[in-house]
Structure 1
Amino acid sequence: MAVLWAAVILVGVIGTLNLILTLGVVRRLREHATHLETLLRSGPGALAPPGLPHVGGAVGEFAARTLDGDDVSRSSLSGETLVAFFSPGCKPCLEKLPGFVEHARRRIGGRRLILAIVAGGDQAAREMVRELSPVARVVVEDGYEGPVARAFQVTEYPAFCLVDSDGLIVAAEGDVTRLGLPADR
Protein backbone atom coordinates (compact mmCIF):
# COMPACT_ATOMS: atom_id res chain seq x y z
CA MET A 1 0.00 0.00 0.00
CA ALA A 2 2.91 2.35 0.70
CA VAL A 3 4.13 1.91 -2.88
CA LEU A 4 0.69 2.91 -4.20
CA TRP A 5 0.68 6.09 -2.07
CA ALA A 6 4.19 6.96 -3.23
CA ALA A 7 3.14 6.50 -6.88
CA VAL A 8 0.06 8.72 -6.39
CA ILE A 9 2.15 11.44 -4.72
CA LEU A 10 4.79 11.24 -7.50
CA VAL A 11 2.10 11.56 -10.21
CA GLY A 12 0.62 14.52 -8.31
CA VAL A 13 4.00 16.29 -8.08
CA ILE A 14 4.71 15.70 -11.79
CA GLY A 15 1.23 16.98 -12.70
CA THR A 16 1.73 20.11 -10.57
CA LEU A 17 5.14 20.82 -12.16
CA ASN A 18 3.59 20.34 -15.61
CA LEU A 19 0.83 22.83 -14.76
CA ILE A 20 3.34 25.42 -13.50
CA LEU A 21 5.51 25.08 -16.63
CA THR A 22 2.46 25.32 -18.92
CA LEU A 23 1.27 28.50 -17.18
CA GLY A 24 4.79 29.99 -17.63
CA VAL A 25 4.75 29.21 -21.35
CA VAL A 26 1.29 30.74 -21.77
CA ARG A 27 2.45 33.91 -19.98
CA ARG A 28 5.50 34.22 -22.28
CA LEU A 29 3.33 33.70 -25.37
CA ARG A 30 1.08 36.54 -24.24
CA GLU A 31 4.12 38.81 -23.77
CA HIS A 32 5.33 37.98 -27.27
CA ALA A 33 1.88 38.60 -28.75
CA THR A 34 1.75 42.02 -27.07
CA HIS A 35 5.24 42.86 -28.35
CA LEU A 36 4.31 41.79 -31.89
CA GLU A 37 1.15 43.93 -31.83
CA THR A 38 3.27 46.93 -30.76
CA LEU A 39 5.67 46.36 -33.65
CA LEU A 40 2.85 46.02 -36.16
CA ARG A 41 1.25 49.25 -34.95
CA SER A 42 4.55 51.16 -35.19
CA GLY A 43 4.41 51.21 -38.98
CA PRO A 44 6.15 49.79 -42.01
CA GLY A 45 9.71 48.73 -41.57
CA ALA A 46 9.33 48.08 -37.84
CA LEU A 47 9.80 44.39 -38.57
CA ALA A 48 12.88 44.99 -40.72
CA PRO A 49 15.83 42.82 -39.84
CA PRO A 50 18.09 44.38 -37.21
CA GLY A 51 21.08 46.26 -38.56
CA LEU A 52 19.34 47.37 -41.76
CA PRO A 53 17.98 50.86 -42.45
CA HIS A 54 14.44 51.50 -41.20
CA VAL A 55 11.98 51.45 -44.11
CA GLY A 56 9.93 54.64 -44.11
CA GLY A 57 12.57 56.49 -42.10
CA ALA A 58 14.62 59.39 -43.32
CA VAL A 59 18.31 59.13 -44.06
CA GLY A 60 20.33 61.26 -41.66
CA GLU A 61 22.51 64.10 -42.88
CA PHE A 62 25.93 63.05 -44.12
CA ALA A 63 28.76 64.29 -46.28
CA ALA A 64 31.26 62.04 -48.03
CA ARG A 65 33.47 62.00 -51.09
CA THR A 66 33.45 59.28 -53.72
CA LEU A 67 36.67 57.84 -55.07
CA ASP A 68 35.99 59.87 -58.24
CA GLY A 69 36.22 63.05 -56.14
CA ASP A 70 32.48 63.83 -56.20
CA ASP A 71 30.83 65.04 -53.02
CA VAL A 72 27.75 63.08 -51.93
CA SER A 73 25.25 63.96 -49.26
CA ARG A 74 21.65 63.26 -48.40
CA SER A 75 20.54 66.12 -50.66
CA SER A 76 22.52 64.73 -53.60
CA LEU A 77 20.51 61.50 -53.66
CA SER A 78 18.13 61.87 -56.59
CA GLY A 79 15.51 59.64 -58.11
CA GLU A 80 15.51 56.19 -56.62
CA THR A 81 19.12 55.76 -55.56
CA LEU A 82 20.25 52.24 -54.78
CA VAL A 83 22.66 52.32 -51.83
CA ALA A 84 24.76 49.28 -50.92
CA PHE A 85 27.00 48.67 -47.92
CA PHE A 86 29.83 46.13 -48.11
CA SER A 87 32.72 45.06 -45.93
CA PRO A 88 35.67 43.07 -47.26
CA GLY A 89 35.88 40.98 -44.08
CA CYS A 90 32.25 39.86 -44.41
CA LYS A 91 31.71 36.48 -46.09
CA PRO A 92 28.07 37.24 -47.12
CA CYS A 93 29.31 40.52 -48.66
CA LEU A 94 31.81 38.66 -50.79
CA GLU A 95 29.15 36.13 -51.81
CA LYS A 96 26.60 38.81 -52.78
CA LEU A 97 29.03 41.19 -54.49
CA PRO A 98 28.93 39.51 -57.95
CA GLY A 99 25.11 39.48 -57.96
CA PHE A 100 25.02 43.15 -56.97
CA VAL A 101 27.51 44.10 -59.70
CA GLU A 102 25.47 42.22 -62.29
CA HIS A 103 22.25 43.86 -61.09
CA ALA A 104 23.92 47.28 -61.10
CA ARG A 105 25.10 46.83 -64.70
CA ARG A 106 21.49 46.40 -65.82
CA ARG A 107 19.91 48.99 -63.51
CA ILE A 108 17.93 51.80 -65.11
CA GLY A 109 19.69 55.11 -64.46
CA GLY A 110 23.08 53.42 -64.33
CA ARG A 111 25.98 54.42 -62.15
CA ARG A 112 24.50 57.85 -61.33
CA LEU A 113 21.74 56.22 -59.24
CA ILE A 114 23.94 53.68 -57.43
CA LEU A 115 26.06 54.43 -54.37
CA ALA A 116 28.27 51.73 -52.83
CA ILE A 117 29.91 52.13 -49.43
CA VAL A 118 32.89 49.92 -48.56
CA ALA A 119 33.93 49.72 -44.90
CA GLY A 120 37.69 49.41 -44.56
CA GLY A 121 40.80 50.42 -46.40
CA ASP A 122 42.90 47.26 -46.66
CA GLN A 123 43.87 45.20 -49.72
CA ALA A 124 40.58 43.25 -49.69
CA ALA A 125 38.68 46.56 -49.76
CA ARG A 126 40.71 47.65 -52.79
CA GLU A 127 39.65 44.50 -54.64
CA MET A 128 36.02 45.17 -53.75
CA VAL A 129 36.33 48.80 -54.88
CA ARG A 130 37.85 47.66 -58.18
CA GLU A 131 34.76 45.52 -58.87
CA LEU A 132 32.27 48.18 -57.77
CA SER A 133 33.78 51.27 -59.44
CA PRO A 134 32.57 50.54 -63.00
CA VAL A 135 28.93 50.20 -61.87
CA ALA A 136 28.58 52.52 -58.85
CA ARG A 137 29.85 55.68 -57.24
CA VAL A 138 32.03 54.31 -54.41
CA VAL A 139 32.73 55.74 -50.96
CA VAL A 140 35.31 54.06 -48.74
CA GLU A 141 34.72 54.56 -45.03
CA ASP A 142 37.09 53.75 -42.22
CA GLY A 143 35.32 50.84 -40.56
CA TYR A 144 31.68 50.44 -39.69
CA GLU A 145 31.22 53.83 -38.05
CA GLY A 146 31.61 56.03 -41.12
CA PRO A 147 29.31 59.00 -41.73
CA VAL A 148 27.23 57.28 -44.42
CA ALA A 149 26.71 54.10 -42.37
CA ARG A 150 25.68 56.22 -39.37
CA ALA A 151 23.29 58.31 -41.50
CA PHE A 152 21.60 55.14 -42.75
CA GLN A 153 21.85 53.44 -39.32
CA VAL A 154 23.48 50.38 -40.85
CA THR A 155 25.14 48.05 -38.37
CA GLU A 156 25.04 44.83 -40.38
CA TYR A 157 26.68 44.11 -43.71
CA PRO A 158 25.79 43.62 -46.50
CA ALA A 159 22.87 46.02 -46.57
CA PHE A 160 20.98 47.29 -49.59
CA CYS A 161 18.38 50.03 -49.66
CA LEU A 162 16.47 52.20 -52.06
CA VAL A 163 16.23 55.92 -51.26
CA ASP A 164 13.80 58.32 -52.88
CA SER A 165 14.62 61.93 -53.78
CA ASP A 166 13.19 63.15 -50.44
CA GLY A 167 15.78 61.09 -48.55
CA LEU A 168 13.27 58.48 -47.35
CA ILE A 169 14.17 54.81 -47.31
CA VAL A 170 11.69 53.03 -49.57
CA ALA A 171 13.07 49.49 -49.19
CA ALA A 172 15.84 47.76 -47.24
CA GLU A 173 17.15 44.21 -47.45
CA GLY A 174 20.21 42.09 -46.84
CA ASP A 175 20.09 40.91 -50.46
CA VAL A 176 19.66 43.19 -53.49
CA THR A 177 17.58 40.58 -55.33
CA ARG A 178 14.89 40.75 -52.63
CA LEU A 179 14.37 44.50 -53.03
CA GLY A 180 12.08 43.81 -55.99
CA LEU A 181 13.71 46.44 -58.19
CA PRO A 182 13.36 46.63 -61.94
CA ALA A 183 16.87 46.18 -63.29
CA ASP A 184 16.72 45.91 -67.05
CA ARG A 185 17.60 48.90 -69.14
Structure 2
Amino acid sequence: MTIGLSAVLVLCGLVAVNLVLTGGIIRKLREYERERAGHTDGWQPGLADGAKVPSFTAATTTGETVDEEILRDGVTLVGFFSTDCGSCLPKAPDFADTAASTPALAVVSAGRTAADDLRQALDAVGKVVVEAEGGPVATAFAVAAYPLFFLVGPDGAVLASGHELDPLRRLARA
Protein backbone atom coordinates (compact mmCIF):
# COMPACT_ATOMS: atom_id res chain seq x y z
CA MET A 1 0.00 0.00 0.00
CA THR A 2 2.78 2.44 0.87
CA ILE A 3 4.56 1.63 -2.40
CA GLY A 4 1.40 2.44 -4.40
CA LEU A 5 0.87 5.68 -2.47
CA SER A 6 4.51 6.65 -3.00
CA ALA A 7 4.23 5.99 -6.73
CA VAL A 8 1.11 8.17 -6.96
CA LEU A 9 2.83 11.00 -5.07
CA VAL A 10 5.90 10.80 -7.32
CA LEU A 11 3.71 10.86 -10.44
CA CYS A 12 1.75 13.86 -9.10
CA GLY A 13 5.04 15.66 -8.48
CA LEU A 14 6.25 14.89 -11.99
CA VAL A 15 2.97 16.14 -13.49
CA ALA A 16 3.28 19.40 -11.52
CA VAL A 17 6.87 19.93 -12.69
CA ASN A 18 5.81 19.14 -16.27
CA LEU A 19 3.03 21.76 -16.10
CA VAL A 20 5.41 24.42 -14.78
CA LEU A 21 8.00 23.69 -17.47
CA THR A 22 5.37 23.63 -20.24
CA GLY A 23 4.04 27.01 -19.10
CA GLY A 24 7.58 28.43 -19.23
CA ILE A 25 8.14 27.07 -22.72
CA ILE A 26 4.86 28.54 -23.96
CA ARG A 27 5.75 31.94 -22.49
CA LYS A 28 9.19 31.88 -24.14
CA LEU A 29 7.70 30.85 -27.50
CA ARG A 30 5.26 33.76 -27.37
CA GLU A 31 8.10 36.19 -26.58
CA TYR A 32 10.17 34.73 -29.40
CA GLU A 33 7.26 35.02 -31.84
CA ARG A 34 6.70 38.69 -30.95
CA GLU A 35 10.40 39.49 -31.34
CA ARG A 36 10.69 37.58 -34.59
CA ALA A 37 7.67 39.30 -36.11
CA GLY A 38 8.78 42.68 -34.82
CA HIS A 39 5.40 43.14 -33.20
CA THR A 40 4.90 45.03 -30.01
CA ASP A 41 1.71 45.89 -28.18
CA GLY A 42 -0.24 48.31 -30.35
CA TRP A 43 1.49 47.07 -33.50
CA GLN A 44 0.23 48.67 -36.72
CA PRO A 45 0.57 47.06 -40.17
CA GLY A 46 1.03 50.53 -41.68
CA LEU A 47 0.64 54.23 -40.95
CA ALA A 48 -1.77 54.87 -38.11
CA ASP A 49 -5.03 56.70 -38.67
CA GLY A 50 -4.39 60.44 -38.54
CA ALA A 51 -0.72 60.15 -39.59
CA LYS A 52 0.50 62.28 -42.48
CA VAL A 53 1.86 60.39 -45.48
CA PRO A 54 5.54 61.29 -45.94
CA SER A 55 6.91 62.25 -49.33
CA PHE A 56 7.58 59.58 -51.94
CA THR A 57 8.20 59.40 -55.68
CA ALA A 58 7.50 56.42 -57.91
CA ALA A 59 6.74 55.59 -61.53
CA THR A 60 3.48 54.00 -62.61
CA THR A 61 3.27 51.17 -65.12
CA THR A 62 2.38 53.76 -67.77
CA GLY A 63 5.57 55.75 -67.04
CA GLU A 64 3.83 58.57 -65.17
CA THR A 65 5.64 59.87 -62.09
CA VAL A 66 3.52 59.98 -58.94
CA ASP A 67 4.31 61.46 -55.56
CA GLU A 68 2.46 62.34 -52.36
CA GLU A 69 0.71 65.20 -54.20
CA ILE A 70 -1.51 62.64 -55.92
CA LEU A 71 -3.19 62.22 -52.54
CA ARG A 72 -4.19 65.90 -52.33
CA ASP A 73 -6.92 65.77 -54.98
CA GLY A 74 -9.60 64.63 -52.54
CA VAL A 75 -10.17 61.40 -50.68
CA THR A 76 -7.90 58.80 -52.26
CA LEU A 77 -7.92 55.04 -51.84
CA VAL A 78 -4.45 53.45 -51.77
CA GLY A 79 -4.06 49.68 -51.96
CA PHE A 80 -0.94 47.63 -51.34
CA PHE A 81 -0.67 44.16 -52.83
CA SER A 82 2.15 41.63 -52.90
CA THR A 83 2.88 38.88 -55.36
CA ASP A 84 3.82 36.68 -52.38
CA CYS A 85 0.40 37.20 -50.73
CA GLY A 86 -2.24 34.53 -51.29
CA SER A 87 -5.19 36.78 -50.45
CA CYS A 88 -4.05 39.77 -52.54
CA LEU A 89 -5.08 38.59 -56.01
CA PRO A 90 -8.70 37.79 -54.98
CA LYS A 91 -9.07 41.31 -53.50
CA ALA A 92 -7.59 43.11 -56.52
CA PRO A 93 -10.77 43.10 -58.68
CA ASP A 94 -12.83 44.63 -55.84
CA PHE A 95 -10.18 47.31 -55.44
CA ALA A 96 -10.25 48.01 -59.19
CA ASP A 97 -14.07 48.26 -59.09
CA THR A 98 -13.91 50.75 -56.23
CA ALA A 99 -11.27 52.75 -58.10
CA ALA A 100 -13.82 53.39 -60.85
CA SER A 101 -15.70 55.73 -58.48
CA THR A 102 -12.93 56.88 -56.11
CA PRO A 103 -9.47 58.23 -56.97
CA ALA A 104 -7.06 55.39 -56.28
CA LEU A 105 -3.45 54.29 -56.38
CA ALA A 106 -2.51 50.60 -56.44
CA VAL A 107 0.95 49.52 -55.36
CA VAL A 108 2.20 46.03 -56.17
CA SER A 109 5.19 44.71 -54.30
CA ALA A 110 6.95 42.31 -56.64
CA GLY A 111 8.32 39.58 -54.42
CA ARG A 112 9.58 36.22 -55.55
CA THR A 113 6.99 35.84 -58.28
CA ALA A 114 6.09 38.08 -61.22
CA ALA A 115 3.50 40.80 -60.81
CA ASP A 116 1.68 40.10 -64.10
CA ASP A 117 -1.53 38.62 -62.60
CA LEU A 118 -1.90 41.45 -60.11
CA ARG A 119 -1.15 44.08 -62.75
CA GLN A 120 -3.83 42.67 -65.03
CA ALA A 121 -6.38 42.59 -62.19
CA LEU A 122 -5.56 46.22 -61.33
CA ASP A 123 -5.37 47.64 -64.89
CA ALA A 124 -8.67 49.49 -64.46
CA VAL A 125 -7.21 51.50 -61.55
CA GLY A 126 -5.18 53.62 -63.94
CA LYS A 127 -2.39 54.42 -61.51
CA VAL A 128 -0.49 51.25 -60.67
CA VAL A 129 3.02 51.26 -59.24
CA VAL A 130 5.07 48.07 -59.29
CA GLU A 131 8.02 48.24 -56.93
CA ALA A 132 10.38 45.88 -55.15
CA GLU A 133 9.59 44.94 -51.58
CA GLY A 134 10.34 47.92 -49.36
CA GLY A 135 9.94 50.32 -52.28
CA PRO A 136 9.41 54.07 -51.83
CA VAL A 137 5.60 54.04 -51.64
CA ALA A 138 5.41 51.05 -49.28
CA THR A 139 8.08 52.66 -47.11
CA ALA A 140 6.20 55.96 -46.99
CA PHE A 141 3.07 54.13 -45.80
CA ALA A 142 5.10 51.87 -43.43
CA VAL A 143 3.49 48.77 -44.96
CA ALA A 144 4.28 45.63 -42.98
CA ALA A 145 1.46 43.31 -44.14
CA TYR A 146 -0.51 42.62 -47.31
CA PRO A 147 -3.06 43.35 -48.61
CA LEU A 148 -3.38 46.71 -46.90
CA PHE A 149 -5.69 49.56 -47.82
CA PHE A 150 -5.61 53.24 -46.84
CA LEU A 151 -8.11 56.00 -47.26
CA VAL A 152 -6.18 59.28 -47.42
CA GLY A 153 -7.78 62.69 -47.03
CA PRO A 154 -7.00 65.78 -49.11
CA ASP A 155 -4.66 67.00 -46.37
CA GLY A 156 -2.47 63.91 -46.84
CA ALA A 157 -3.51 62.31 -43.54
CA VAL A 158 -4.68 58.72 -43.22
CA LEU A 159 -8.42 58.69 -42.56
CA ALA A 160 -8.68 54.91 -42.14
CA SER A 161 -6.73 51.77 -42.94
CA GLY A 162 -7.13 48.03 -42.80
CA HIS A 163 -6.85 44.67 -44.49
CA GLU A 164 -10.47 44.70 -45.64
CA LEU A 165 -11.73 46.97 -48.39
CA ASP A 166 -15.45 47.14 -47.51
CA PRO A 167 -15.20 49.48 -44.48
CA LEU A 168 -12.97 51.87 -46.40
CA ARG A 169 -15.27 51.74 -49.43
CA ARG A 170 -18.22 52.78 -47.25
CA LEU A 171 -16.19 55.66 -45.78
CA ALA A 172 -15.10 56.83 -49.23
CA ARG A 173 -18.71 56.99 -50.41
CA ALA A 174 -19.90 58.83 -47.29
Considering the TM-score relative to the shorter chain, is it more than 0.5? yes
* Counterpart position of 1:98: 93
Partner of 1:161, secondary structure, is: strand
Amino acid at match of 1:13: G
* Counterpart position of 1:13: 13
* Counterpart position of 1:133: 123
- Which of 158, 161, 169 in structure 2 is aligned with 1:172? 161
Amino acid at match of 1:60: P
1:69-124 Cα shifts (integer Å, max 9, x gaps): 4332223312221101122343211111122122222x3xx4xx201112239995
Partner of 1:91, secondary structure, is: coil
Structure 1 unpaired stretches of 5+: 33-37, 40-45
Partner of 1:77, secondary structure, is: helix
Partner of 2:66, secondary structure, is: strand
Partner of 1:131, secondary structure, is: helix
- Which of 107, 121, 126 in structure 2 is aligned with 1:117? 107
Comparing 8-17 with 128-137, which one deviates more in the overlay?
A: 8-17
* Counterpart position of 1:3: 3
TM-score between both structures, scaled by the size of structure 2: 0.69
C-alpha displacement of 1:153: 1.1
The percentage of aligned residue pairs carrying the same residue is 39
* Counterpart position of 1:65: 59
Report the count of equivalent residues.
Answer: 162
CA RMSD of aligned residues (A): 3.7
C-alpha displacement of 1:144: 0.9
CA distance in 2, matches of 1:170, 1:130: 28
Q: CA 1:69/1:7 → structure 2, altered by over 3 Å: closer, same or farther?
A: closer
Q: CA 1:180/1:132 → structure 2, altered by over 3 Å: closer, same or farther?
A: closer
Comparing 150-159 with 131-140, which one deviates more in the overlay?
A: 131-140
Partner of 1:133, secondary structure, is: helix
1:156-185 Cα shifts (integer Å, max 9, x gaps): 222111112232222111221243534669
* Counterpart position of 1:81: 76
Contact conserved, 1:84 with 1:117, CA < 8 A, in 2?
Answer: yes
Contact conserved, 1:65 with 1:72, CA < 8 A, in 2?
Answer: yes
CA distance in 1, matches of 2:91, 2:137: 20
Contact conserved, 1:121 with 1:140, CA < 8 A, in 2?
Answer: no
Contact conserved, 2:82 with 2:111, CA < 8 A, in 1?
Answer: no
1:10-32 Cα shifts (integer Å, max 9, x gaps): 376268548957997xxx6xxx9
TM-score between both structures, scaled by the size of structure 1: 0.66
Amino acid at match of 2:140: A
Amino acid at match of 2:47: P
